[in-house]
Structure 1
Amino acid sequence: MDEIALIVAAVVTLASTILLHRTFFRRSRFRLPPGPKPWPIVGNMPQIGGAPLHSLLAAMAGEYGSLMYLRLGSVGVVVAASAAVAEKLLKVHDTNFLSRPPNAGAKYIAYNYQDMVFAPYGPRWRLLRKISTVHLFSSKALDDHRRIREEEIAVLVQALASSGEVPAALGSLLTVCTANALGRTMIGRRVFGDGGSGDDSEAKQFKAMVEQVMILAGKFNPGDFFPSLEWLDLLGVASEMKKVHKWFDDFLTKIVEEHRNLLARGRGGGHQDLLSTLLSSAEDENEKINDTEIKALLLNMFTAGTDTSASTVEWALTELIRHPKMMAQAQQELDSVVGRDRAVSDLDLPQLVYLQAVVKETFRLHPPTPLSLPRMAAESCEINGYHIPKGTTLLVDVWAIGRDPKEWADPLEFRPNRFLPGGEKAHVDVKGNDFEVIPFGAGRRICVGMSMGLRMVQMLTATLVHYFDWALPNGLLPDELNMDEAYGLTLRRAQPLVVHPRPRLLPGVYQKSP
């Protein structure tokens, strides 16, 4: 009997040990990343109110680490706030985070997920991305459309040169310029008349539409985190989204119908623009897209391609005005490479090493989208020993990564020299390969318009620095410029930059502008 008891005791002990080991292993394997303790029902929502979300999450990362887990209502959210963590999520586990979580912006603004930005990963998304890449963003397409960009930038230069003693609201003019360049590329014509003024009512209306889309897309909406309460629209966000959607849809419907009529009369411009290509694709079953998808794609291009580029250039010029020695260095490089007797060309950009460093530093300190567009885990996975459950929303804090003191010396200082040959970050680019600066995202869902956006930002910044010296109105000193950020999906200036442009090139250069 004693032997039987010993055997039973041994079996029980072994079973208990195995059970305890399995329980411990399961708990450790399913351990969530650290984060603030959630409240009942609402989760961590009370802890993220007030300041802009990207800066709040950056502050939290200092306490909980660069991989955090939050519960917002009934939605689990994982936040990446360092280059190393972002690389694991967007490179190593990229295929697991290819779709977007449900959200009101995609539903009510972006044609119920029929656009390219918010569409679920799959055949339709791949088709929209292929069409955009081939006809708008390939190297051939960018070279084919170089003349359009240069002509629209020349119109901007004329508007600035003729402003006289009236200070220029630079952001509005940049929005008009980028929108018209995109418009001629996408729909074969300018969006705003002659493109010469950022103050006409049509330009103001378009700028207001774009900004409202970006503001609402970044606005807190309870229905996104409590799906069962979505129908209540507690803060009226869905109602606002429906209004701005109708505003934009009317605008886009008119464009599509006018273009279809021109094509029917044989006046479509030889199918050189994107819209002509999309409308003519109705005959090709392999690439056929409907009017809703066409308008959704145009919505993506106009919103993502105007506000982001314009705000980045506005930040770049602001920083150079605040740092006169850097402005002088950029102008000296332009005078050496381009001279004072002609305009800057796309072909000059590879030789403008300091100018490129200025743009990179602007993207680092003022990323156009401070928080990446959300992604969603298709399956559970493990990151740094932590469990990320299926269905978790992923946010990458691009703003925090660019200001990470573990990654950057003097992270709050504007220092383009760090990207110059011999600088500590000379090897870093902004194209999604180096995760220290990822203004366009990374992985398969990297911004499809990155190549055009980067070239447009470089060209506009180079042109403004080359053509003009800049003075602030009313005796304002450079170090007195307000550097506050406006809240929204894009990182705009809270106070638009208002400046006096002073021509610095030979007079004949301005006369050559079309």
Structure 2
Amino acid sequence: MEICEVAFLSLLLCCSLVLVLRRKRRLLPPGPPAFPIVGNLLWLTRPVSDIEFVHRGLRDKYGPIVTLHVGSSPTVMVSGREIAHKLLVKHGAVFANRPTPFAGIRFISRNQHNISAAGYGPLWRLLRRNLMLEILHPSRIKTYAHAREWVLSILLDKLRARAGSGDGIVVVMESFQYSMFCLLVFMCFGEKLDKKAIGDIEKAQRDLLMFVGKLNVFAFMPKFAKYVFRGTWRKLLELRQRQREIYFPLIRARGEQMAAGRAPSENSFHFSYVDSLLDLELPEENNRKLDEEEIIALCSEFLNAGTDTTSTALQWIMANVVKHQDLQERIVDEINGVLGEGDQEIREEDLHKFTYLKAVVMEGLRRHPPSHFVLPHAVTEEFSMDGYVIPKDATINFAVADINWDAKTWKEPMEFRPERFLPGGEGVDADITGSREVKMMPFGAGRRICPGIGLAMLHLEYFVANLVRAFEWKQVDGEEVDLTEKSVFTTVMKVPLRARITARRKI
């Protein structure tokens, strides 16, 4: 009898345990079955484009919030705009952390000593506040107006030269990227560097950026992975060493200039991002200064954030300007109506007068967000919502493109229609920061929203306006602008934009 009782109690305990586990499973947002080890390996080897495709299938099956099992904790994917606003804005502090980074990201971020990788806490607040106040504050942005004029002249000269040697045909992305690097390097290091130095920095950044996708292999059993993929780890060390060789002299030169109290030269500026980092102290770490490796991590982050995404967005917008000639004509008419048809360039203080131009930029960011997902967030405490539980330490991400293309919010969402942001359109009241509501979120939303949103909008409006002011843009004879996407670090044009340009006036 005792044996039967023990057997019965054991069976009862097992059944209870199964029920508890099944109940716990049901509490999570819905999703496909989990295959812990195999599933992890399969997800880690998938490119972002595949993950996006799979997620859309799961969204159609399970709804706007889906649970995947990647790594040791669940990953929750959100594609509903109301849910995104609730989690990122109304309950922002709960969803503002970052997942524990794997070895490759820890190495690149100098153990999470940059803004994008730092956990939600004092270090993150300090680094973000420093960037916002010292570089991205509107008054500071205005002081770099002359740098933007300088870079605009570089960009227009490059396009004229390329057009002159190729029957007016230009491939624009290389010129956009180079120009953005000239501008952001100046803001970062306070120096107007020559073409070779800019090219070296651009190559070092791009090589490392393109290599990041290969670091997923270190997310699972990192010590073992470092041995198995030692060639990959060795390459990462080489790329970082190349950055050191380029950045250390620039950082030390600024430090020496600050220490000596020397006035800036003709090719330098009185304040740069590096200057603010050299002065920064970390109260949570005995008021120590940042070391050079940490400054490199922050400079690298600054350059990546301000160059690749902006040049990608600029190419997408100009591709639609080329493809839709009526749109281009309307921009030109608006500019001429304000400034006349003279040769002067468009000044930054004129930009607020161009409502249709702003609508074109907004539609570009809605229809072609440079990143289709935000950087992953982590949950700081268990959170209950609509009968589901999102557990503490879960990873959560937001499908930016799906939110931007929601047919419940936008009429014909896959069409490029700037008019939707004009009076009478469904996007006229769209808040790009997501503070009031989320209709589109190309810069993210909530506490982790991109700090450079104001600078990015200024750059896009300023460069689009002057590119259209300076040149007439047309499709190359016999070619259609191809808007097919390709996922690399950002979502770029699979076929880079080629256009035939003709000078309207000399700016």
Q: Distance in 1 between matches of 2:174 and 2:40?
A: 37
Secondary structure, counterpart of 2:413 in structure 1: coil
Following superposition, the deviation at residue 366 of structure 1 comes to 1.3
Q: Distance in 2 between matches of 1:145 and 1:277?
A: 16
Counterparts of 1:269-308 in structure 2, within 5 Å, are 269=264, 271-281=270-280, 288-308=289-309
Secondary structure, counterpart of 1:162 in structure 2: helix
Over 3 Å counting, the alpha-carbon distance change for 1:372 and 1:218 in structure 2 is farther
Q: Distance in 1 between matches of 2:87 and 2:102?
A: 21
Following superposition, the deviation at residue 41 of structure 1 comes to 2.3
Aligned-partner residue type, residue 126 of structure 1? R
2:262 matches 1:260 = no
Following superposition, the deviation at residue 64 of structure 1 comes to 1.6
Over 3 Å counting, the alpha-carbon distance change for 1:281 and 1:112 in structure 2 is closer
Identity over aligned residues, as a percent? 29
Is the contact between residue 115 and residue 297 of structure 1 (CA under 8 Å) also seen in structure 2? yes
Q: Distance in 1 between matches of 2:91 and 2:22?
A: 22
Where does the alignment leave 5 or more consecutive residues of structure 1 unmatched? 1-15, 194-200
Counterparts of 1:367-386 in structure 2, within 5 Å, are 367-386=369-388
Aligned-partner residue type, residue 210 of structure 1? Q
Following superposition, the deviation at residue 63 of structure 1 comes to 1.9
2:459 matches 1:463 = no
Secondary structure, counterpart of 2:446 in structure 1: coil
2:27 matches 1:34 = no
2:204 matches 1:209 = yes
Secondary structure, counterpart of 1:250 in structure 2: helix
Counterparts of 1:102-501 in structure 2, within 5 Å, are 102-163=101-162, 164-166=164-166, 167-193=169-195, 203-219=198-214, 221-226=216-221, 229-232=224-227, 234=229, 238-267=233-262, 269=264, 271-281=270-280, 288-341=289-342, 342-433=344-435, 434-473=437-476, 475-477=477-479, 480-501=480-501
Secondary structure, counterpart of 2:37 in structure 1: coil
CA RMSD of aligned residues (A): 2.9
Where does the alignment leave 5 or more consecutive residues of structure 2 unmatched? 1-11
Secondary structure, counterpart of 1:77 in structure 2: strand
Is the contact between residue 219 and residue 488 of structure 1 (CA under 8 Å) also seen in structure 2? no
Is the contact between residue 222 and residue 229 of structure 1 (CA under 8 Å) also seen in structure 2? no
Aligned-partner residue type, residue 296 of structure 1? A
Is the contact between residue 356 and residue 458 of structure 1 (CA under 8 Å) also seen in structure 2? yes
Secondary structure, counterpart of 1:79 in structure 2: strand
Q: Distance in 1 between matches of 2:422 and 2:400?
A: 22
Residue equivalent to 1:196: none
Which moved further from structure 2: 327-336 or 38-47?
A: 38-47
Is the contact between residue 123 and residue 282 of structure 2 (CA under 8 Å) also seen in structure 1? no
Secondary structure, counterpart of 2:392 in structure 1: coil
TM-score relative to the length of structure 2: 0.86
Is the contact between residue 421 and residue 429 of structure 2 (CA under 8 Å) also seen in structure 1? yes
Over 3 Å counting, the alpha-carbon distance change for 1:347 and 1:334 in structure 2 is same
Following superposition, the deviation at residue 267 of structure 1 comes to 3.2
Q: Distance in 2 between matches of 1:43 and 1:471?
A: 48
TM-score relative to the length of structure 1: 0.85
Q: Distance in 2 between matches of 1:25 and 1:243?
A: 46
Following superposition, the deviation at residue 282 of structure 1 comes to 6.9
Is the contact between residue 409 and residue 426 of structure 2 (CA under 8 Å) also seen in structure 1? no
Which moved further from structure 2: 212-221 or 296-305?
A: 212-221
Is the contact between residue 181 and residue 198 of structure 2 (CA under 8 Å) also seen in structure 1? no
Following superposition, the deviation at residue 266 of structure 1 comes to 3.8
Q: Distance in 1 between matches of 2:270 and 2:111?
A: 29
Secondary structure, counterpart of 2:451 in structure 1: coil
Is the contact between residue 186 and residue 274 of structure 1 (CA under 8 Å) also seen in structure 2? yes
Q: Which of 85, 102, 111 is the matching residue for 1:87? A: 85
Over 3 Å counting, the alpha-carbon distance change for 1:68 and 1:184 in structure 2 is same
Is the contact between residue 130 and residue 276 of structure 2 (CA under 8 Å) also seen in structure 1? no
